[in-house]
Amino acid sequence: MNRVFVTDCEGPVSLNDSAYEAAAAFIPDGDRFFRKVSEFDDILADEIKRPGYNAGDTLKLIVPFLVAYGVTDEKLIEFSEKTLKLVPGAADFLGIAQRLMPSYIVSTSYRHYIEALCRATGFPLENAYYTRLSLNTEISEDERKRLFSLREDVIEGDFELLDEIFFHIIPEMEIGGILDGVKTVGGEGKRLALMEILDELGLNQEAAMYVGDSITDVEPLRELKGRGLSVSFNGNRFALREAEIAVISDDSRALMPLLDLHSRFGREYIIEFVKAYTENPERALESFRLDFRVADKFRELFRDRYPVIAIIDDPDELLEDSLDMRMGIRGEDVGSLG
């Protein structure tokens, strides 16, 4: 039975929001700056649904500011390596996934961060999709100073001012040309990456399991809902709204039963397992055809407190617990971002 596993990176695999952390480290008041742009991104992608705009294009919008504040490819690679933090069990979980079936990471993160993560986990970079760009570009002093001023305007501005800055002022600047080469892998970009993977493997949606946690995962989760396996891992309201199964845990290996069953059975069998697990985790582990090694490892890891694995009938019923776990392991600053 041919199957494929695809996961987002930041959330299910790593604890970072690498772009937020880079902005906070290199740009004055960068935490406030990034949060404002992220809120702008949520409005554009989820409420206004601006044509041609993808959730996660925050990473595109902030590029001129990173350049203005002297961030180079080399600096961002070094920063990514120093700050990389994995979800407990993530490297082990990725290894299990790769042994069971073709496995891919589809991430909005910059290539600098994904390269660092692949080196740390041993995951093959050729099986990762990510936002490609180079920050090694020239910028005039006049434009650098202009962006310094615009940074303050972004922090204090309203939606209309941000729209003017990001879609009129910066594109008309010389540094704005750098944006033409930045294609973020977020929202629709993630869905297209998922479909490209399926096409290359000669598979359809029923063969895929996708794990995500945020607004950038809405489209791929929606693509598989009711067909493949769409899973929210410590998801926020956007992910829970679109996924069919919620997993809430401080360890990525909570996904092991779903991964094992997906590698050998269809979605209906997995749905029945999740329903039985919700009623009685131990009985479900015994009654369904899990690999005994997976079941034993799962018991060993979680016997004191089994993770939540549940069908999402009402996202609001799971939202508080999911957000509490999300912020508990990632921190409130990162966990509260869209």
Give me the pLDDT at residue 1, please.
60
What is the reported pLDDT for 53?
86
Q: Say which amino acid occupies 27.
A: I
Q: What are phi and psi of 246, to 5 degrees?
A: -110, 135
The single-letter DSSP state of residue 137 is -
Question: Which residues touch 90 (CB under 8 Å, ≥6 apart)?
Answer: 12, 13, 14, 121, 252
Q: Does 123 have pLDDT greater than 70? A: yes
**Mean pLDDT of all residues in 135-143:** 95
pLDDT bucket at 52, cuts 50 / 70 / 90? confident
Mean pLDDT across 269-288? 97
User: How many alpha carbons lie under 13 Å from residue 66 in its C-beta half-sphere?
Assistant: 28
Q: Give the span between the Cα atoms of 136 and 266, in whole angstroms.
A: 47
Neighbours of 27 (CB within 10 A): 21
Share of the chain above pLDDT 70, in %: 99
Which of 93, 122, 100 is CA-nearest to residue 233? 93
The whole-number average pLDDT for the span 224-230 is 96
pLDDT tens, residue by residue, 188-221: 999 999 999 999 999 999 999 999 999 999 999 9
**Phi and psi angles of residue 160, each rounded to the nearest 5 degrees, phi first:** -65, -40
Residue 12 has pLDDT above 70, yes or no: yes
- For the residues 14-34, what does the mean pLDDT come to? 96
Compute the distance between CA of residue 286 and CA of residue 277 in angstroms, rounded to an integer: 10
pLDDT tens figures, 73-122: 999 999 999 999 999 999 999 999 999 999 999 999 999 999 999 999 99
- 183 or 264, which is more confident: 264
pLDDT at site 331: 87
pLDDT of res. 336: 67
> Model-level pTM?
0.94
pLDDT for res 20: 94
Mean pLDDT of the chain: 95
Amino acid at 133: L
At 103, list the tokens.
């496995």
Cα–Cα distance measured from residue 49 to residue 218, given in angstroms and rounded to the nearest whole number:
13
Q: Is 300 exposed, middle or buried (0-12, 13-18, 19+ CB in 10 A)?
A: exposed
Task: Decide if pLDDT at 338 tops 60.
Answer: no
Mean pLDDT across the stretch 236-262?
Answer: 97
Instruction: Tell me: pLDDT of 279 over 90.
Output: yes
